[in-house]
C-alpha cells in the first residue's frame, strides 16, 4: 500500500527498476525470495547480498520447492499453494521449515505475491533463525529444568525412604510459622495423629500448655549450646511426656528445626519392674486394651485392639472417639464413662464393636478410672466374645460340679406347664432382666435404654409398666 | 412476584415464580453452552480455554489455570491424559493453519509442560521401596526437542504404580551407563522426528547386546502412527502411544521370567 492509501502506484510514481537491480532490491527487502512456477518448481532463488549465512542455494533452481521442506511444511505449503492457484488471496504469512540434504533446518516466514506472470508466485521470506535460536535456548533451559526435577525426584525418594525407616521420631518445624513441614510415621504415632494431618499443623498446639512462640524459643535455645538439655513437653492427645532434641538449619531462605522426639522414661520406671511387665502385658496380651480420656477420645491402644477395629496403625485410631467403634455409639460410651466415673470401675459390659469395614463383633469389656498426677483417663479391657465361646463351651460340657446343670433345670420345668407357657414365661424373665440392666446401665435414662434395647420409647414404657419397673430409679 | 400480606403491605417472595424461572433459564443456558465431551473425551469449551491461556502473551500462572480446570470438575487424570495432549495437538494444528507462529507454539508447549508438572506433583506417591513395582525409563533421544509427550507418559506410568525415570537428550554413553546401572523393566522411546529414529536404533542395538535380561522396548510419539516399518527398523518390541499396553507386555514378561 502506498502512503496515500492506494494499492496502486499512480502513473509516474512507479520507480522504473532495471532487471539487473530488481533482484538485489527484492533480496534486501526480504531475506530470501523464491520465484515458483505453477508446478511448484523453483525458478529462481534471490538472497540478501549482505547476508551470506544461507550459503549457495543455486542448486535449488529447477527443482520442486518441496524437496527443500520438512515433511510437515510440505503439507502446509501444498495447501497454501493450491489455494493461491485457485485465486484465494493469502492473507496470513506462511511459516515453513527448510531442509537441505538433512544437513540443516531453518524457519522462514513467507508471504505470497503475484507479479504478473500467470500462476507463478513470488515468495518473499523473512529469516526466522534469530527467533529459532532464542527458541532453542528456551527449550534447552526447559530440558535443564526437567533434568533438575528428575534429580530432585530421585533425591526426594531417598529422603522419604530414610525418613520412613529410621527408628527416631522426626519432625521438621518452620521457626517462622511454627508449623510442621514434614514428619515421619514414628513421630506421628508418638503425637497421636496421622502424619498427613500433622503437616501444616502448629507444632506447639500438640502439647499441653505450650504457646507457639515460647516453644520455638525454647527449642532454638536448646540448639545453641552443646550441653543443652532436651525440651520436655506433654503430648495433649496421648498424655505422654516426651523430650524434644532440636537441631536448627537453614533451607530455602528459612530456618527449620529438625526435632527428634523421645519418650521421657523418667516417670515410667518402677523399682519392682511392674511398669515394665505391664508394658509387656499391654503389648502382648490377646485382649484388647484401650486408654481414653474422660470424654472417650482414644489415647492409646494395643495391637489386639487394632486387630479388633481393623486399624493398620496406631495413628488410625488415636484421637478418635471410642464411640466410633461401638455398635451403639454414644450410648455405649456413655454407659462405660458414667460407670467408671461413678463407681471407679465397671466389671462387665457386653456390646458389639464395629471394625473399619463395618463388620460387628460381640465383645465384653471392663472399664476402670485411672488417675495419674491429676490426669484422669479411663482404661478398658475388651474381650472378643466370639473367641471366648469355644473356650467356655469346654467347661460347660465337662464341669457339671461347678455350674448349675442347665439340662437339669429344664427337666424340672418340662411337664410343669405347656411348652407355650414355658417359652412365654422365659421370654418375660429375659425381657425383664434385660430392661432392668439397660435402665441400670443408663442410670434410668429411658431414651438411651430404649436405644440400647432396640425398642421405641413407647414400647419400653409399656414393658416397664408390665414388669413394674416404671417408677424404679436406675 | 410480590403479593400483599394481610396488613396490606407488599413483601418480596423469595421463591417468586419469575425469579425461579429466570434462574432455571440461566442454568439451562449455561448447561447448553457447556458442550458435551468430544470424540477424545474433552469438552470443547474447556479445551478452548486452555489453548487460549497457554498462548496468551500475558503472564501465565500454572496453579491458577489448574484451579480453573479443577473448577470445571476435571480430575488430575483427565488433565494429564486428555487436556494436555489435546491442547498440544491444537497448537500444532493452529501452526499448520498459520494461525500462530512457531515461537507461540514453543511458549505454549512449555506452559503445558509447566501445567503438567504441577498436576503430576499431586499424584500420590506409592511406597518407594516396594521391590515389586515395575521400573520404567523414558528416553527423549539426543537432539529431540519435543518432550511434553515423554512427561505425559511419565505421569501416566507413575499413576499406574511404576517407578519412572526420564532421560532427556543424554548421549549414547550416558544412556549405556544408566541402563546397566538402573536395569529398568521397560524402556520407552519418545520420538517426534524421523531423524531421531537413527539414534533410537543405535540405542536399541546396544541395549540388546549388553543388558540381560533385555527390558521391554517400546516406541511412542507423534511419529509412531505415521511411518511404516518403525518396529522392524528400530528393533523395538512394540510401537504404541498407550503406556498401559507397554505395562501389560512388561508385566507378562516379568511373570514369564519369574516362572522360568
Topology classification of domain A284-388? Beta-Lactamase (3.30.450)
Q: In B32-93, at which residue ranges do the beta strands (DSSP E only) sit?
A: none
Chain B touched by A128 (CB under 8 Å): yes
Q: Is the pLDDT of residue A316 over 90?
A: no
Query: CB of A370 within 8 A of CB of A344?
Result: no
Q: pLDDT tens for residues A240-296?
A: 888 999 988 888 778 899 999 988 655 544 545 566 677 778 878 888 899 888 888
Query: Residue A276: its pLDDT value, please?
Result: 67
Backbone torsions φ then ψ of A49, nearest 5 degrees: -70, -20
Span A26-44, average pLDDT: 89
Query: CB of B62 within 8 A of CB of B114?
Result: yes
Q: In A230-330, at which residue ranges do the beta strands (DSSP E only) sit?
A: 231-234, 241-251, 254-263, 288-292, 298-301
Would you call A72 and B106 a contact, using CB atoms and an 8 Å cutoff? no
Alpha carbon of A61 to those of A22, A34, A325: distances in Å? 18, 9, 86
Q: Strands A241-251, A254-263: parallel, antiparallel or unpaired by DSSP? A: antiparallel
In a domain, B228, yes or no: yes
Topology classification of domain A19-127? Beta-Lactamase (3.30.450)
Q: Strands B186-190, B135-140: parallel, antiparallel or unpaired by DSSP? A: parallel
Q: pLDDT tens for residues A384-396?
A: 877 665 555 544 4
Length in residues, chain A: 474
Asked whether the bond before B213 is cis by omega within 30 degrees of 0, the reply is yes
Which of B99, B103, B125 minimises the CB distance to A131?
B103
Q: Do B210 and B240 lie in a common domain?
A: yes
Would you call B113 and A142 a contact, using CB atoms and an 8 Å cutoff? yes
> Considering only CA atoms, which of A246, A171, A249, A260 is closest in space to residue A216?
A246
Interface probe for B, chosen from A103, A105, A153 (most Cβ of B below 10 Å), is A153
Q: Strands A104-113, A121-127: parallel, antiparallel or unpaired by DSSP? A: antiparallel
CA-CA distance, B120 to B8, in Å (whole number)?
A: 63
C-beta pairs of A143-148 under 8 Å, 24+ apart in sequence: A143/B147, A143/B168, A143/B169, A146/B113, A146/B147, A146/B151, A146/B166, A146/B168, A147/B168
Q: Do B154 and B221 lie in a common domain?
A: yes
In a domain, B20, yes or no: no
CA distance B145 to chain A (A): 7
Contacts of residue B117 in chain A, CB cutoff 8 Å?
Answer: 149
Q: Strands B163-168, B135-140: parallel, antiparallel or unpaired by DSSP? A: parallel
Would you call B151 and A131 a contact, using CB atoms and an 8 Å cutoff? no
CB pairs below 8 Å between A and B: how many? 56
Looking at the 3D structure of chain B, how many domains does it have? 2
CA distance A114 to chain B (A): 20
Confidence of residue A136 (pLDDT cuts 50, 70, 90): confident
Query: Residue A159: its pLDDT value, please?
Result: 87
Q: Do B154 and B102 lie in a common domain?
A: no
CA torsion A17-A22-A27-A32 (nearest 10°) is 130
Query: Residue A359: its pLDDT value, please?
Result: 79
> Considering only CA atoms, which of A165, A326, A166, A169 is closest in space to residue A238?
A169
CA distance A396 to chain B (A): 50
Query: Residue A9: its pLDDT value, please?
Result: 59
Contacts of residue B145 in chain A, CB cutoff 8 Å?
Answer: 136, 139
Q: Do B148 and B235 lie in a common domain?
A: yes
A244-253, B22-31, B42-51 — most confident range: B42-51
Q: Do B102 and B161 lie in a common domain?
A: no
CA-CA distance, B209 to B202, in Å (whole number)?
A: 11
**Percent of the residues in chain A that have a pLDDT greater than 70, as a whole number:** 85
> Considering only CA atoms, which of A260, A175, A169, A177 is closest in space to residue A221?
A175
Same fold, A19-127 and A166-263: yes
In a domain, B8, yes or no: no
Q: Give the global pTM.
A: 0.61
CA-CA distance, A372 to A267, in Å (whole number)?
A: 11
Report the SS3 class of residue B242.
coil
Q: Do B68 and B183 lie in a common domain?
A: no
Query: Residue B7: its pLDDT value, please?
Result: 46
Confidence of residue A169 (pLDDT cuts 50, 70, 90): very high
Residue of chain B with shortest Cα separation from A75 = B96
**Percent of the residues in chain A that have a pLDDT greater than 90, as a whole number:** 16
> Considering only CA atoms, which of A428, A318, A158 is closest in space to residue A309?
A318
Q: Strands A345-354, A360-372: parallel, antiparallel or unpaired by DSSP? A: antiparallel
Query: Residue A74: its pLDDT value, please?
Result: 92
Neighbours of A43 (CB within 10 A): 14
Interface probe for A, chosen from B91, B106, B140 (most Cβ of A below 10 Å), is B106
CA A393 to chain CA centroid, Å, is 47
DSSP A403-466: S--HHHHHHHHBTTB-HHHHHHHHHHHHHHHHHHHHHHHTTT-HHHHHHHHT--HHHHHHHHHH
Backbone torsions φ then ψ of B227, nearest 5 degrees: -85, 140
Q: Is the pLDDT of residue A164 over 80?
A: yes
Query: Residue A264: its pLDDT value, please?
Result: 66
CA-CA distance, B240 to B237, in Å (whole number)?
A: 10
Query: Residue A218: its pLDDT value, please?
Result: 86
Identify the residue with better confidence: A363 or B124.
A363
Lowest mean pLDDT among A7-11, A346-350, A367-371, A441-445: A7-11
DSSP A15-30: ----HHHHHHHHHHHS
Confidence of residue A397 (pLDDT cuts 50, 70, 90): very low
B248: containing domain: 135-259
Q: Do B226 and B201 lie in a common domain?
A: yes
A1-15, A82-96, B50-64, B168-182 — most confident range: B50-64
Q: Is the pLDDT of residue B11 over 50?
A: no
Q: pLDDT tens for residues B150-191?
A: 999 999 998 888 888 899 888 888 888 888 787 899 999 998
Residue of chain A with shortest Cα separation from B164 = A150
Q: Do B164 and B218 lie in a common domain?
A: yes
Q: Is the pLDDT of residue A402 over 50?
A: no
Would you call A157 and B128 a contact, using CB atoms and an 8 Å cutoff? yes
Query: Residue B53: its pLDDT value, please?
Result: 95
Would you call B102 and A132 a contact, using CB atoms and an 8 Å cutoff? yes
Residue in the structure block whose three cell numbers are 517462622: A176
Span A365-392, average pLDDT: 78
Please identify among residues 135-154 of chain A the ones whose CB lies closer than 8 Å to any CB of chain B.
135-136, 138-139, 142-143, 146-147, 149-150, 154
Span A391-411, average pLDDT: 48
Q: Is the pLDDT of residue A2 over 60?
A: no
Lowest mean pLDDT among A84-98, A196-210, A264-278, A347-361: A264-278
CA-CA distance, A284 to A279, in Å (whole number)?
A: 9
Length in residues, chain B: 260
CA distance A100 to chain B (A): 13
Span A14-30, average pLDDT: 77
Chain B touched by A53 (CB under 8 Å): no
Give Cβ neighbours of residue B190 (< 8 Å, ≥ 6 apart).
B138, B139, B140, B141, B144, B146, B147, B149, B150, B153, B220, B221
Q: Show me where the domains of chain A are located.
A: 19-127, 166-263, 284-388, 393-466
**Vertex A342: Cα angle to A339 and A344 (nearest 5):** 80
Which of B99, B106, B195 minimises the CB distance to A102?
B195
Q: pLDDT tens for residues B127-141?
A: 555 667 889 999 999
Span B208-219, average pLDDT: 89
In a domain, B160, yes or no: yes
Would you call B98 and A150 a contact, using CB atoms and an 8 Å cutoff? no
Query: Residue A143: its pLDDT value, please?
Result: 87
Query: Residue B1: its pLDDT value, please?
Result: 38
CATH number, domain at B190? 3.40.50.280
Interface probe for A, chosen from B62, B91, B102 (most Cβ of A below 10 Å), is B102
Query: Residue B15: its pLDDT value, please?
Result: 47
Query: Residue A339: its pLDDT value, please?
Result: 84
Query: Residue A80: its pLDDT value, please?
Result: 92
CATH number, domain at B106? 1.10.1240
Confidence of residue A171 (pLDDT cuts 50, 70, 90): very high
Chain A touched by B103 (CB under 8 Å): yes
Query: CB of A117 within 8 A of CB of A85?
Result: no
Neighbours of A12 (CB within 10 A): 6
In a domain, B184, yes or no: yes
Which of A71, A95, A161 minimises the CB distance to B128?
A161
Contacts of residue A80 in chain B, CB cutoff 8 Å?
Answer: 98
> Considering only CA atoms, which of B96, B129, B91, B132 is closest in space to residue B111?
B91
In a domain, B59, yes or no: yes
C-beta pairs of A455-461 under 8 Å, 24+ apart in sequence: A460/A435
Question: What region does A273 belong to: left with phi over 0, alpha with psi -120 to 50, or beta?
Answer: left
What mean pLDDT is reported for chain A? 81
Q: Do B106 and B160 lie in a common domain?
A: no
Chain A touched by B24 (CB under 8 Å): no
CA-CA distance, A259 to A198, in Å (whole number)?
A: 14
Q: Is the pLDDT of residue B70 over 50?
A: yes
Architecture of the A166-263 domain: 2-Layer Sandwich (3.30)
CA-CA distance, A470 to A474, in Å (whole number)?
A: 10
Q: Do B146 and B234 lie in a common domain?
A: yes
Amino acid at each position: 500500500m502506498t502512503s496515500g492509501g492506494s494499492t496502486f502506484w499512480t502513473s509516474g510514481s512507479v520507480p522504473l527498476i532495471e532487471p539487473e537491480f530488481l533482484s538485489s532490491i527484492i533480496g534486501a527487502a526480504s531475506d530470501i525470495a523464491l520465484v515458483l512456477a505453477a508446478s511448484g518448481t523453483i525458478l529462481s532463488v534471490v538472497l540478501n547480498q549482505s547476508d551470506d549465512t544461507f550459503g549457495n542455494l543455486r542448486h535449488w533452481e529447477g527443482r520442486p520447492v518441496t524437496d527443500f521442506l520438512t515433511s510437515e511444511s510440505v503439507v502446509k505449503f501444498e495447501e497454501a499453494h493450491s489455494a493461491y492457484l485457485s485465486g484465494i488471496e493469502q492473507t496470513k504469512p506462511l511459516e515453513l521449515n527448510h531442509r537441505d540434504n538433512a544437513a540443516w533446518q531453518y524457519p522462514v516466514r513467507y508471504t505470497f505475491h503475484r507479479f504478473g506472470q500467470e500462476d507463478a508466485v513470488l515468495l518473499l521470506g523473512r529469516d526466522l533463525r534469530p527467533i529459532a535460536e532464542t527458541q532453542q535456548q528456551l527449550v534447552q533451559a526447559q530440558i535443564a529444568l526437567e533434568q533438575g526435577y528428575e534429580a530432585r525426584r530421585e533425591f526426594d525418594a531417598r529422603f522419604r525412604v530414610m525418613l520412613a525407616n529410621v527408628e527416631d521420631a522426626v519432625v521438621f518445624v518452620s521457626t517462622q510459622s511454627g508449623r510442621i513441614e514434614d514428619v515421619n510415621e514414628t513421630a506421628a504415632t508418638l503425637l497421636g495423629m496421622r502424619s498427613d494431618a500433622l503437616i501444616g499443623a502448629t507444632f506447639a498446639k500438640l502439647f499441653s500448655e505450650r504457646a507457639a512462640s515460647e516453644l520455638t524459643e525454647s527449642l532454638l535455645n536448646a540448639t545453641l549450646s552443646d550441653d543443652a538439655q532436651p525440651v520436655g513437653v506433654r503430648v495433649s492427645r496421648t498424655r505422654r511426656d516426651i523430650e524434644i532434641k532440636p537441631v536448627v538449619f537453614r533451607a530455602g531462605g528459612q530456618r527449620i528445626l529438625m526435632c527428634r522426639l523421645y519418650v521421657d522414661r523418667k516417670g515410667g520406671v518402677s523399682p519392682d519392674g511392674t511398669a515394665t511387665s505391664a508394658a509387656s502385658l499391654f503389648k502382648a496380651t490377646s485382649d484388647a486394651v484401650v486408654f481414653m480420656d474422660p470424654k472417650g477420645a482414644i489415647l492409646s491402644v494395643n495391637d489386639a485392639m487394632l486387630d479388633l477395629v481393623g486399624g493398620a496403625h496406631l495413628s488410625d485410631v488415636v484421637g478418635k472417639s471410642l464411640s466410633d467403634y461401638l455398635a451403639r455409639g454414644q450410648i455405649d460410651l456413655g454407659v462405660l464413662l458414667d460407670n467408671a466415673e461413678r463407681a471407679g470401675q465397671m466389671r462387665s459390659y457386653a456390646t458389639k464393636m464395629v471394625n473399619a469395614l463395618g463388620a460387628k463383633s460381640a465383645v465384653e469389656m471392663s472399664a476402670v478410672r485411672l488417675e495419674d498426677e491429676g490426669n484422669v483417663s479411663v482404661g478398658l479391657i475388651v474381650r472378643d466374645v466370639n473367641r471366648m465361646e469355644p473356650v467356655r463351651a469346654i467347661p460347660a460340657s465337662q464341669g457339671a460340679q461347678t455350674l448349675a446343670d442347665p439340662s437339669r433345670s429344664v427337666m424340672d420345668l418340662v411337664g410343669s406347664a405347656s411348652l407355650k407357657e414355658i417359652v412365654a414365661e422365659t421370654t418375660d424373665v429375659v425381657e425383664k432382666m434385660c430392661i432392668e440392666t439397660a435402665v441400670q446401665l443408663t442410670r434410668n435414662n429411658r431414651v438411651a435404654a430404649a436405644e440400647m434395647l432396640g425398642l421405641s420409647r413407647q414400647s419400653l414404657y409399656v414393658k416397664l409398666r408390665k414388669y413394674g419397673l416404671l417408677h424404679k430409679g436406675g | 412476584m410480590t403479593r400483599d400480606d394481610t396488613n396490606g403491605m407488599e413483601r418480596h417472595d423469595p421463591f417468586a415464580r419469575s425469579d425461579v424461572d429466570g434462574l432455571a433459564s440461566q442454568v439451562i443456558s449455561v448447561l447448553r453452552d457447556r458442550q458435551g465431551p468430544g470424540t477424545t473425551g474433552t469438552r470443547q469449551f474447556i479445551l478452548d480455554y486452555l489453548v487460549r491461556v497457554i498462548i496468551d502473551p500475558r503472564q501465565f500462572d500454572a496453579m491458577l489455570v489448574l484451579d480453573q480446570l479443577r473448577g470445571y470438575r476435571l480430575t488430575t487424570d483427565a488433565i494429564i491424559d486428555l487436556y494436555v495432549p489435546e491442547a498440544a495437538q491444537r497448537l500444532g494444528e493452529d501452526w499448520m493453519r498459520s494461525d500462530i507462529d512457531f515461537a507461540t507454539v514453543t511458549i505454549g508447549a512449555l506452559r503445558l509442560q509447566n501445567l503438567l508438572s504441577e498436576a503430576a506433583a499431586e499424584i500420590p506417591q506409592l511406597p518407594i521401596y516396594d521391590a515389586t513395582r515395575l521400573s520404567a525409563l523414558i528416553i527423549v533421544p539426543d537432539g529431540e526437542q519435543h518432550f511434553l509427550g515423554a512427561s505425559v507418559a511419565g505421569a501416566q506410568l507413575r499413576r499406574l504404580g511404576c517407578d519412572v525415570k526420564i532421560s532427556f537428550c543424554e548421549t549414547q554413553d550416558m544412556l549405556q551407563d544408566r541402563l546397566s546401572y538402573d536395569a529398568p523393566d521397560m524402556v520407552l522411546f519418545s520420538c517426534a522426528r524421523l531423524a531421531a529414529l537413527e539414534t533410537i536404533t543405535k540405542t536399541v542395538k546396544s541395549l540388546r547386546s549388553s543388558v540381560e535380561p533385555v527390558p521391554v522396548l517400546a516406541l511412542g510419539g507423534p511419529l509412531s502412527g505415521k511411518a511404516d516399518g518403525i518396529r522392524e527398523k528400530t528393533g523395538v518390541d512394540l510401537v504404541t502411544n498407550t503406556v498401559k499396553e507397554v505395562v501389560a507386555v512388561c508385566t507378562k514378561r516379568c511373570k514369564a521370567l519369574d516362572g522360568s
